[in-house]
Amino acid sequence: MRRVRVGNGCGFWGDSPDAPVRLAEHGRLDYLTLEYLAELTMSILAVQRQKDPAAGYATDFPGVLARLTRVLAEQPNLKIVTNAGGMNPHACAAKARDVLAQAGLGGRRVGVVSGDDLMPRLDELLAAGHALNHLDTGAPLAGVRDRVVSANAYLGARPIVDALKLGADVVVTGRVADASLTVGPVAHEFGWDFADLDRLAAATVAGHLIECGAQATGGLWIDADDATRLETVGYPIAEVGAGGDFTVTKPAGTGGVVSVDALAEQLLYEVADPARYYTPDVVADFTTVRLCLAGPGVVAVTGGSANGVTDSYKVSVAYRDGFTAAGTLVVAGPNAAAKAQRSGAIILDRLAQSGLTFAHSHVEAIGAGACVPGVVTAAFDPPEVTLRVAVRDPRRAAVERFTREFAPLVTSGYAGTTGYTTGRPPVREVFAYWPALVAKSAVTPRAEVLP
């Protein structure tokens, strides 16, 4: 295969359900990737699996796959790689197998990548000296061990390659690095050795550029306007050559934009050190990347060299960290922003009079520069703002009491206060994020194909 076309039709769980189908229909793809996972998502899935052993995966995926079966029947060589398996890749893969069988595609084989879930082995790892220290603070995980709900290593592309070698047409993984969803298919098709770090780095750049879906094709682009036609935005396609060079494009006739500027923005998304972008497969050097407009709606990408490889996997740990709630009201009229700020203080003051203070609280007047405080300020006194007050505390009962203080402001607050008809804000449990590292030698990725 001279070039491999990989299109990503999903950037997160909750992305457009129509995007994968449209991309598969019109993208002329070899591989469709679907990226569902984030740190918060893994926490949610972990709790779901605790309640139901058959749950714990991105439930949108089976429905998307059902809609894709017609396309798969028309394009027998199209393969799908997704991390929709979340905390339960085997259950997700079994569901995918059922969906394919019901559509008359029982001959399509479903592969599973697992081994990322460290939760069953957590105490064993800690006892063996893997402290899983917090990457920012250095604190050992033992301090929150009793509240941990999930711990997953970010696997790389190698087990995806293994699943494809076993004949999988659909590969369902648990937690893998986002870019590895692209690196795996490309490395498999070209037969790359995992010691060929520069090619892996180049494919990592491709995967990073398309991993967030339409964010690479005009979504959140700073220069987007009505002419960008985001209502029909096309999702990105990376066409990769055997040497690692590639182009980025999108299906013809779709909205959005493929430009050097838009891709440069995405290239630096969630990047701390551009010279050292750490993945399980390779440390990629983004400073060597070159973007060049190669034609209408086509950007050529070269560079993306390797800067070594790590001997550890990143681990995403989630632990219970109290409860939170956030409520809103609209404040209109003269001095709306000032009245909103004071109204928020009144809520907290009244609770304090009842003997309740909170571990964390926040008051903001949305519409007066609160989203980026100190960066964007209102040029004039806004005629109305949205008051938002949030608290977080270990005590659920205290947070529930907080939710009862919004409605009283309608009659005991400032004139112009409204927006109380939606009811009390819900209380939800907080799952805090604990980033750590674990030696690769302590983790065993597994690839298999369902019978």
For 329-367, write each residue's pLDDT tens digit.
Answer: 999 999 999 999 999 999 999 999 999 999 999 999 999
Both 89 and 211 in one domain: the answer is yes
DSSP H or E segment with residue 397: helix 396-402
Does 161 have pLDDT greater than 80? yes
Both 367 and 227 in one domain: the answer is no
Sequence-separated (6 or more) residues with CB below 8 Å from residue 121: none
**pLDDT (mean) for 431-441:** 96
Q: Which range has the top average pLDDT, 36-45, 180-189, 372-381?
A: 180-189
- The whole-angstrom separation of Cα 439 and Cα 79 is 32
Both 305 and 345 in one domain: the answer is no
For 260-316, write each residue's pLDDT tens digit.
Answer: 999 999 999 999 999 999 999 999 999 999 999 999 999 999 999 999 999 999 999
- The whole-angstrom separation of Cα 333 and Cα 451 is 66
Residue type, 45: L
CA distances for 36 relative to 81, 87, 237, angstroms: 11, 12, 17
Taking residue 237's Cβ as centre, other Cβ atoms within 10 Å add up to 28
**Quick check: helix, strand or coil at residue 329?**
strand
| Sole residue written with tokens 């050190």 | 273
Domain of residue 387: give its range: 321-433
Residue 20 domain flag: yes
Residue 54 domain flag: yes
Query: What pLDDT score does 377 carry?
Result: 74
Q: What percent of the chain has pLDDT over 90?
A: 93
**Quick check: helix, strand or coil at residue 133?**
coil
**Quick check: helix, strand or coil at residue 317?**
strand
Both 175 and 58 in one domain: the answer is yes
| Sole residue written with tokens 């090619």 | 199
Residue 352 domain flag: yes
Both 246 and 289 in one domain: the answer is yes
Both 231 and 197 in one domain: the answer is yes
Residue 129 domain flag: no
Sheet holding 283-285, edge to edge: 277-278, 283-285, 305-306
- The whole-angstrom separation of Cα 374 and Cα 355 is 33
Looking at residue 392, which CATH number applies to its domain? 3.30.70
CA dihedral over 213, 216, 222, 224, signed as positive or negative: negative
Q: CA nearest 89: which of 108, 62, 112?
A: 112
Q: What is the DSSP string of 78-108?
A: -EEEE-TTTT-HHHHHHHHHHHHHHTT-TTS
Query: What pLDDT score does 118 carry?
Result: 97
How sure is the predictor about 381, in pLDDT bands with cuts at 50, 70 and 90?
confident
| Sole residue written with tokens 């009229």 | 333
Residue 27 domain flag: yes
Residue 347 domain flag: yes
Sequence-separated (6 or more) residues with CB below 8 Å from residue 53: 88
Q: Do strands 283-285 and 305-306 pair parallel, antiparallel, or not at all (unpaired)?
A: antiparallel
**Quick check: helix, strand or coil at residue 334?**
coil
Both 237 and 274 in one domain: the answer is yes
CB 309 within 8 A of CB 282: yes
Both 330 and 295 in one domain: the answer is no
- Which domain-ending residue is among 256, 286, 310? 310
Query: What is the per-residue burial (b if ≥16 Cβ within 10 Å, else e) of 263-286?
Result: bebbbeeeeeeeeebbbbbbbbbb
Query: What pLDDT score does 272 carry?
Result: 93
- The whole-angstrom separation of Cα 90 and Cα 113 is 8
Both 352 and 280 in one domain: the answer is no
Residue 73 domain flag: yes
CB 301 within 8 A of CB 247: yes
Sequence-separated (6 or more) residues with CB below 8 Å from residue 417: 329, 330, 331, 339, 343, 409, 410
How sure is the predictor about 1, in pLDDT bands with cuts at 50, 70 and 90?
low
Both 282 and 341 in one domain: the answer is no
Q: CA nearest 94: which of 141, 47, 62, 72?
A: 62
Both 201 and 275 in one domain: the answer is yes
- The whole-angstrom separation of Cα 373 and Cα 337 is 13
Number of domains in the chain: 2
Please enumerate, as own/partner, the contacts of 414-423 that have beta carbons within 8 Å and a separation of 24 or more: 414/331, 414/339, 414/342, 414/343, 415/333, 416/331, 416/332, 416/333, 416/336, 416/339, 416/384, 417/329, 417/330, 417/331, 417/339, 417/343, 418/329, 418/330, 418/332, 419/328, 419/329, 419/330, 419/386, 420/329
Sequence-separated (6 or more) residues with CB below 8 Å from residue 272: none
Residue 67 domain flag: yes
**pLDDT (mean) for 141-164:** 97
Residue 72 is given by DSSP the state H
Q: What is the mean pLDDT of the chain?
A: 96
**pLDDT (mean) for 45-68:** 95
Does 227 have pLDDT greater than 70? yes
Expressed in angstroms, the distance from the first to the final Cα of the chain is 28
Sheet holding 110-114, edge to edge: 290-295, 298-302, 246-249, 237-241, 3-8, 31-34, 79-82, 170-173, 110-114, 446-449
Q: CA nearest 161: which of 88, 81, 90, 91?
A: 81
Both 297 and 330 in one domain: the answer is no
